[in-house]
Structure 1
Amino acid sequence: MSTENAFGRVSRRVGKLFRAVLLASTLAGILTLAVLLVYVANDAFKPLSADPGWHLTFFLTLVVPTVGVGWWSYRRSYGTLTTGLLGTVMPGIAALYAGGLAALFIDVIPTLVWLSFVIALAVPISVAAALRRTDRDVPFLAKLVLLLGTTIGSLLVIPGFVQELPTVPADWMVLVLTLGVPEALLLGRWLGGRWGQRAGRIAGTAILLGSAAGGVVGMASGLGAIPGVALALFAAVPTGIYVAIVLKERPDRRVGLLLPAVVVAGALTGELLVGALGFAGPESWVDWGFLTSTVQSGADASAVGIYSGVVGTILLMFVVAAIAVPAGVGAAVYLEEYAPDTTLTRIIDVNISNLAGVPSVVYGLLGLGLFVRYGGQPTGTLLVGGATLALLVFPIVIISAREAIRAVPDSARQASYGMGATRWQTVKNVVLPRAFPGILTGTILALSRAIGETAPLLVIGAAQVFGVPDSWNSAIGAMPLQLYVWASTYASPAFYTTVLAAGIVVLLTAMLSMNSIAIYVRNHYEQR
C-alpha cells in the first residue's frame, strides 16, 4: 500500500524493508564484535583446558543461580535488575582502579614524598579557607599575592623539611592519613547531609577505621599493606556506601542486592568444591603473575608481564588529565560564555571540530616537533608522552564540555543575572554545576581514547621502552605499546595466542570500564 505526501510517494513495504536492513546491519555488527571478543578471550583464558568437572561445578553453583536470580529480579522490575548488576560490577571496577593506585605508591611515588607535598599543599588551602571565613574585606589582589606566596613558599620549604625527619609513619599509615582522613571527612559530611549529622559521623569514623583495618589485613594476608589500604578506601568503601544507600533510600530495589550476594557465594562455593574434588581449572594467561611481572622481552612467552605497561598507562592518564581537562574546560567556558560571535570565533569553532578528526599520528609528529625538537625534551619520556596525548584529546574535551555547557537552559542564567549575580558568579554557581555531569562524561571518554592510542607514542620514541618510571624525564611504556611490540618484534604463534591475547583483554577491560563509568554517570544524572 502506498500514499502521497509532501515528500512524494510513500510505500509501507519500502519502510519495512529499510527497517529490516537497519536491524540486520546492527545485528551483524554486534555479532562480529562478539565473535572477535570470544576468539580473543578463548586465547587469553583457555577455558577448554579445564576439566569437565570444573565447568559443571561452576555451572551449577554460579551460572544457574545467577541467571535465575537475575531473571527473577527483572520480572520484579528493571530497576531491581540494574541495582543488582551495578552492585555486582562496582566492586570489580573499583578494585581494578584501586590496584592501579596502589601500584603507583609501591613503585613510583614514595609515600614520604607524597606526605611532604600533601602537607605543603595543605598550608595554602588552610590560608584560603581562613580568608574565606574572615569578616574583613581583603582586596582580591592581596588575596592572590598571599595565596601565591604561601603556595610557593610551602612547596619550596616543607617537602625538604618533612623528608629529612628522622622518624616518619609507616607507608600504609601515610596513606591512611593523607587519603583516608580526607575521604572520611568528605563522605561523612556528604552522608550527614542525607541522613543526619550523627549518621555522617558514624560513617566517617567507620571509613577511617576501615582504611586502617585494610592495612592490617593486607599485611596479615600477604597482599601488602598499601594494596590493603587502597582496596579498603576505593573498593570496599564505595561498595559499602552503595549498599547502604540502596537499603536505606530504595526499599523497592533492596532485593536486587541478592544478585551480587549470589555471585559471590556461588564463586566461593564453586572454588571450594573444585578444590575438594581435585578438578583442574583453565590454564589462563591472565593471572596474577602476568599482571605483576615486569619482564617485557625474551623468547619465552610465559615469562613476560604487563605490569610496567599498566603503571605507565596510569601515569600517562594522570598527565593527560592534568593538562587537557583544565585547559579544555576553560576554553569551552570562554567560547560559550564570554567570547563574542565574531569571524575569529567562528574560525576557531571550525578548527576545533576539524582537529577532533585529525589522525592520531599527526599529533605524534606535533608532539615530536613541539616538545622534543623545539622544547629540548628527551624522547619517549612520561612528560612528553602525556603532553602529546593531551594534545590529541584536547579538542574532544573542548567539544564535549561546550555541548554540556550549551545544554544548560538560558533561563537558569537569566535567573542568576536577575538576582544580581555577575557573569563569573553565574558561570561558577549555575552553569558549571549543571554542566558537570556532561563534562565528566566527555572527559572520561576522551581519556578512554587516549588509553588505546599507539601511533603518537610510537612517533615520540616510546615504542621500545618499558619499565616503571621514577621521574618526569623517565622513559615510559604503555599497554598499547607492549601489544605492538609483542605482535611485531616478538612475532610468533606463541605470542599471538598467549600473552598478546591476554594483553588485549587487560587493555579492553580498562577501556570498557571507563566507558561504563561514563555511561553510568550520564544515565544517573539524566534520570535526576
Structure 2
Amino acid sequence: MATDTDSGYIDSFGQVSRTTGTVFRYLLLAATMFGIVTLAVLLVYVANDAIRPLTADPGWHLTFFLTLVVPAAVVGGYLARRNVPALKLGGMVVGMLAVFLMFSGGVAIVFVDIVPPLTGLSYVVALLVPAALVVVLTKYEQRISFTLRVAATGAAFVLSLVGVPGYFHSIPEIVRQLPVVPADWVILTLVLGGVAAVAVGQYVARIREDTTAGLAAGASALLLTGLAAVVGPTLGVDANAAAVVTSVAFVPTLAYAGGAAVTRERERIGLLLAAVVVVGSLVGAAAVDVFGFAGPQSWVDWQFLTSAHSGTAENAGLYPAIGGSILLMATVAALSFPLGVGAAVYLEEYAPDNAFTRFIDVNISNLAGVPSVVYGLLGLGVFVTYLGQPTGTVLIGGATLALLILPIVIISSREAIRAVPSDMRQASYGMGATRWQTVKNVVLPEAFPGILTGTILALGRAIGETAPLIMIGAPNVLFNLPTELTSKVSAMPLQVYAWSSLFASEDFYTKAVPAGVVVLLAVLLAMNSIAIVLRNKFESES
C-alpha cells in the first residue's frame, strides 16, 4: 500500500518514487518543447525566405494592422473571455474558407486544365445513368437475387462508361459528339455547382428537418454559382474560375455559417470574428491599392503557382508539379481506400483467429514501418520490370504510393472498426440481420470517421514522398500538366528536390526552394487540419 511520503513500496512493482516521476515528466515536457521550438524556428526561417514580409512598405503593414489585426484581436479577445465556443466557431469558419479556397485551386486545375469541362460532364452523365439503375435495383432488392443485382450493376457501369466496341458507343462518346454543347462555365456550374447544391440541400434539410427548405437551399447554391460565373468577368475574374471557387469554397462556407447561425444561438456571435477577418482583409487590400503601398516581394505569388519550371529561379514555377501531385493523390486514394478498408473489414469481421491471420497481422504492422525507398524499388520491380509498364507515369506512381500507405490505411481502418462497441453488433444480430448487413449498416457507418481520418493522414504522408517517385523514374522536371493516367508525372516534393540538387545555386536555394517548401507545407497542413476537424467533430457527437 502506497503512503503519503515521497516514495513507497507496492507489491510486484518495487520502489515507486514521486520525485523521479516528476523529474521524468518535466524532462519529457522539455524535450517536446525543444522539438517544437526548433521546428518552429526552421519553418519561420523558410517562410521568411519565401514570403519576405519585411520587403513590404511600412504603410502596407500599418494598413493591415489597423484593418485586420486590431479588429480581429479585439473581437477574438472578447470572445475568448466571454464565449470560447463562439470563438471556436468563428475560427472554424475562417479556417474552412481558407482551406476550401486552397482546394478550389486544385479543383480548377483538374476540371479546367487537365480534364476539359465537356469531358467531365460526359463522364458525370455516364455515371448518373447506372447510378439511377442501382437505386431502382436497391428499391426492389427483396425481389431480385443478389447475384442478379451485382451482375446488372456491373454491366450497367461497364456499358455506360465503355460501351461495346463495334456495336454502340459509350455515353461519354455520345455526349462529346453532340452538335451543340453548353459553354464551359455552364458545364462547371452544372457539375460542380450541382454537387455543391446537393450537399447544401441535404445539410439544410437535416438541420431544419424540412425537405422544402433543403430544396430551396440547394437551388440557391446552384443559382449563386451561376451568378458568380456570369458576374466574374465584369470584375476581372475568369468565368470558369469564378464557378469553381464559388462552388468549392464560398457555397459550403456560407452554408455552414448559415446553419450555425440558425442552430447554435449561443455561439453564433462567433460569426462576427469571421466577418471581421473577411471584411478587414478586403478593406485592407483596397486601401493599400488606393494608397499605392507595395506589398511583400514574395516568391510565392501567382506567377510561381501558375508557371512551369525555368532555368532561372525568378521565373521558376510549380504548376505542373501541383497538377501532378493532385492526380497522384487521386490515383492513390482510388487504389488504397477500397483495398485498405476491404482488407480491414475482412480481418476484423470475417477472418478466423488462427496462425495465418496472426502472421498477416504481424506483417502488416512491419510493412507500415518499411522505408519508402523500398516501396519505390518494389514498384520498379513489379510494375515496370515485371509488368512492362512505362516508367514515371501517373498510374505507376499512384500505384507505388498506394502500396506505401496501404498498411497504414489497413491499420487505421482496423482500429476504427475495432472501436465500434460489440453491443451494437449484437443488437443488429438480435434484430435478425446477417453479418454483411451488420457490417454495412452498423459497423462501417460508425467506423467511417476514424477510417476517413486515417486515410487523409496517410495521403498526407504520400503527397510528401520523393524516394518512390525517383525509383520508378518519374521526371524531376515537367513543363506540361499530365492529362492521362499514362502521362509522365512529377510532383511537388520531386520538383523541390530537383531545384535543390540538379539546379543547385544560390538563387534557387533562397528563392524557388523555400517557396516550394511553403506551398507543400501549406497543402500538408490543410490536409491534416481536415483530418483533425473531422476527428474532433465525430468524437464530440459520439
Q: TM-score range by the shorter chain?
A: over 0.9
Change (3 A) 1:416 1:205: same
Pairing partner for 2:450 from 424, 432, 438 = 438
Instruction: Choose the corresponding residue for 2:19, options 13, 23, 39.
Output: 13
Alignment-mate amino acid for residue 46 of structure 1: R
2:114 aligns with: 108
Partner of 2:233: 219
Matches of residues 504-515 of structure 1 in structure 2 within 5 Å? 504-515=517-528
1-side partners of 2:29 and 2:437: how far apart? 49
* Secondary structure of the corresponding residue to residue 8 of structure 2: strand
Shift of 1:518: 0.3
Alignment of 1:411 with 2:423, yes or no, is: yes
Counterpart for residue 436 of structure 2: 424
Correspondence for 2:166: none
Report the CA distance between 1:483 and its aligned residue.
0.2
Give the one of 482, 501, 523 matched to 2:536: 523
The answer to whether the 8 A contact 1:214-1:231 is kept is no
| Residue 282 of structure 2 is aligned to residue 263 of structure 1 | no
* 1:158 equivalent in structure 2: 171
Q: Select 1:174's aligned residue among 187, 193, 197.
A: 187
CA distance in 2, matches of 1:25, 1:77: 34
Q: What does residue 198 of structure 2 align with?
A: 185
**Is residue 58 from structure 1 mapped to residue 58 from structure 2 by the alignment?**
no
Q: 1 CA distance for matches of 2:17 and 2:119?
A: 72
Of stretches 171-180 and 35-44 in structure 1, the one that deviates more from structure 2 is 171-180
**Aligned-pair CA distance for 1:219:** 3.1
**CA 1:164–1:497 in 2, change beyond 3 Å: closer, same or farther?**
same
| 1:367 correspondence with 2:371 | no
Taking a change above 3 Å as real, the CA distance of residues 133 and 58 of structure 1, as seen in their structure-2 partners, is same
Deviations 1:295-318 (A, max 9, x none): x130x2111111111111000000
Q: Which residue pairs with 2:337 in the alignment?
A: 325
Q: In structure 1, what is the Cα distance between the partners aligned to 2:331 and 2:109?
A: 16
When residues 140 and 9 of structure 1 are mapped into structure 2, their CA distance, relative to the original with a 3 A threshold, is closer
Distance 1:20 1:132, change over 3 A: closer
Corresponding residue SS for 2:180: coil
| CA distance, structure 2, for counterparts of residue 277 and residue 148 of structure 1 | 63
Q: Counterpart in 1 of 2:362?
A: 350
- Give the aligned residue type for 1:212: G
Q: Is the 8 A contact 2:477 2:498 kept in 1?
A: no
For the 8 Å contact 1:49–1:282, the answer to whether it is kept is: yes
The structure 2 residue matched to 1:132, chosen from 138, 148, 160, is 138
Output the CA distance in 1 between the equivalents of 2:109 and 2:52.
27
Using the TM superposition, name which of 497-506 and 113-122 deviates more. 113-122
User: Shift of residue 191 of structure 1?
Assistant: 1.8
CA displacement at 1:54 relative to structure 2:
2.1
Cα gap change, 1:19/1:99 in structure 2, threshold over 3 Å: closer, same or farther?
same
1:302 maps to 314
Between 60-69 and 408-417, the greater mean CA deviation after superposition? 60-69
2:267 counterpart SS class: helix
CA distance in 2, matches of 1:218, 1:386: 36
Cα drift, residue 16 of structure 1:
2.9
* Root-mean-square deviation over aligned CA pairs: 1.5
CA drift at 1:186:
4.1
Can you list the C-alpha shifts for 1:312-351, whole angstroms capped at 9, x where unaligned? 1000000000000000000000000000001000000000
Determine which of 256, 271, 294 is the counterpart of 1:280: 294
How far does residue 517 in structure 1 lie from its aligned partner after superposition? Answer: 0.4
> Residues 8 and 145 (structure 1 numbering): CA distance in 2 closer, same or farther, change over 3 Å?
closer
Residues 4-153 of structure 1 aligned to structure 2 (within 5 Å): 4-6=8-10, 7-134=13-140, 137-153=143-159
Shift of 1:203: 0.3
For residue 468 of structure 1, what is the aligned residue in structure 2? 481
Q: CA deviation at 1:76?
A: 1.6
Read off the aligned partner of 1:464 and give its amino acid letter.
N
Structure 1, residues 367-399: CA drift from partner, whole Å, max 9, x if none? Answer: 011111111111000100000000000000000
1:267 deviates by: 2.0
- Distance in 2, Cα, partners of 1:509 & 1:174: 30
Superposition deviation, residue 527 in structure 1:
0.6
Structure 1 residue 136 displacement after superposition = 7.2
Verify the 8 A CA contact 2:192 2:248 in the aligned structure 1.
no
Counterpart of 2:370 in structure 1: which amino acid?
V
Counterpart contact for 1:40–1:505, Cα < 8 Å: yes
Identity of aligned residues (%): 56
The letter of the residue matching 1:496 is Y
Deviation at 1:118, TM superposition (A): 1.6
TM-score by length of 1: 0.97
Consecutive unaligned residues of structure 1, counting only runs of 5 or more, are none
Partner amino acid, structure 2, of 1:145: A
Aligned residues: 526
Q: Is it true that 1:494 corresponds to 2:507 in the alignment?
A: yes
> Secondary structure at 1:169's aligned position in 2?
coil
Contact 2:200 2:255 in 1 (8 A): no
Q: 1:205 to 1:417 in 2, by over 3 A?
A: same
The match for 1:380 is 392
Work out whether residues 380 and 465 of structure 1, in 8 Å CA contact, stay in contact via their aligned partners in 2.
Answer: no
- 8 Å CA contact 1:465–1:475 kept in 2: the answer is no
Tell me how far apart the structure 2 counterparts of residues 101 and 347 of structure 1 sit (CA, whole Å): 42
